[in-house]
């Protein structure tokens, strides 16, 4: 289904939980966030019902996010339920990688096609600081398990932050030389706890690219890597993988946006960076059938804004990224 700006909306990102086993500094405050009661979170069956309605308006691609989706009880059952919806031709998952080492094979068997793994540093001590206690070794175990399980392409999501990890961005890009990884550098967005960070620590994609080429050589543009994301991809000379740049602030991709979002509490959100939401959970628990859910999807598509307002100083005041769905 096309929205008012003739963008084809065929991608749904689903936050399956607000829980996370890390406390990344740009995602949530040190004390964490107040957890949503379990009964307020969509059940696996409710999520599947929403997706089954979404395919009626053209949803073909689904990504499971969180929080951390792998801490959600029954995540493999949910994957299997979604894989049984014949219209879904791409089922992906974004994870911090901590639990992926033990679950990669089962996720692939259940129906996940590919994974994105968050990784902002290659230094164990710095990783512990950024994540407030995380173990970098577990993430590497998860990356290797994903490659071995055939969850490809394996994409690495790195948030670029000035005076925090900018001294190793070239090293992260260099991972693509010897491994079939697709490392994407993401501009820091002023959402939730990162609002106070975004000013002084923001680095544009153009600056990151200049830093990488000055140390590793030219980047040659390549065709889009499989997936529905907004990254622009390049390859270092002789590299197995690619380097990507996602620029929601300096060079936003709103004109090509093809996605809707479903929060863990059942709010259908036309845009990550817009407060408008449709309460799907209330309707579901009030007995709504598929036709009514389809109507909500049509409403969300037709009310999708033309773009965000980050450059005007907008930020999410009431919720953190883990509560919206990354």
pLDDT tens string 227-278: 867 899 999 999 999 999 999 888 777 888 999 999 999 999 999 877 889 9
Model confidence band, residue 191 (pLDDT cutoffs 50, 70, 90) = low
pTM of the model: 0.93
pLDDT one-digit tens code per residue, 60-104 = 999 999 999 999 999 999 999 999 999 999 999 999 999 999 999
- What is the bridge-based pairing of β-strands 259-262 and 267-269? antiparallel
CA atoms within 13 A on the CB side of 118: 27
Model confidence band, residue 33 (pLDDT cutoffs 50, 70, 90) = confident
Residue 197 and residue 200: Cα distance in Å, rounded?
6
Nearest CA to 208 out of 250, 175, 241, 178 is that of: 250
CA distances from 168 to 149, 159, 163, 190, 194 (A): 28, 12, 10, 22, 20
Range of lowest pLDDT (43-47, 279-283, 315-319): 315-319
| Phi, psi angles (nearest 5°) of residue 268 | -85, 120
When pLDDT is averaged across residues 186-197 and rounded to a whole number, the result is 68
pLDDT given at position 192: 55
For the structural domain made of 11-324, what CATH number should be given?
3.20.20.70
Is the confidence at residue 34, as pLDDT, over 60? yes
Contacts of 24 (CB under 8 A, 6+ apart): 96, 118, 120, 130, 131, 132
Mean pLDDT computed over every residue of the chain: 91
The domain segmentation of the chain, as residue ranges, is: 11-324
């Amino acid at each position: 289904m096309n929205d008012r700006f003739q963008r084809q909306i065929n991608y749904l990102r689903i936050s399956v939980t607000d829980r996370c086993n890390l406390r990344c500094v740009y995602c949530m405050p040190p004390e964490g966030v107040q957890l949503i009661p379990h009964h307020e979170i969509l059940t696996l069956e409710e999520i599947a019902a929403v997706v089954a309605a979404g395919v009626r308006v053209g949803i073909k691609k689904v990504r499971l996010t969180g929080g951390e989706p792998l801490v959600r009880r029954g995540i493999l059952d949910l994957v299997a339920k979604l894989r049984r919806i014949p219209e879904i031709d791409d089922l992906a998952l974004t994870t911090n990688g901590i639990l992926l080492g033990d679950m990669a094979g089962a996720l692939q068997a259940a129906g996940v096609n590919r994974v994105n793994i968050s990784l902002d540093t290659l230094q164990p001590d710095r990783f512990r600081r950024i994540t407030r206690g995380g173990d970098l070794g577990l993430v590497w175990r998860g990356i290797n398990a994903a490659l071995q399980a055939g969850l490809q392409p394996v994409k690495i999501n790195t948030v670029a932050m000035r005076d925090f990890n900018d001294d190793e961005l070239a090293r992260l890009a260099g991972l693509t030389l010897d491994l079939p990884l697709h490392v994407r550098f993401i501009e820091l967005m002023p959402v939730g706890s990162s609002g106070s960070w975004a000013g002084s620590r923001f680095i544009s994609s153009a600056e990151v690219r200049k830093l990488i080429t000055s140390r590793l050589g030219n980047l040659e543009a390549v065709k889009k890597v499989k997936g529905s994301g907004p990254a622009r991809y390049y390859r270092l000379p002789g590299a197995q993988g690619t380097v990507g740049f996602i620029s929601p602030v300096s060079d936003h991709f709103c004109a090509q946006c093809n996605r809707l979002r479903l929060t863990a509490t059942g709010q259908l959100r036309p845009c990550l960076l817009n407060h408008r939401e449709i309460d799907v959970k209330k309707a579901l628990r009030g007995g709504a059938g598929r036709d009514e859910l389809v109507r909500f999807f049509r409403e969300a598509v037709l009310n999708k804004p033309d773009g965000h307002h980050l450059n005007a100083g907008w930020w999410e005041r009431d919720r953190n990224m883990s509560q919206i769905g990354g």
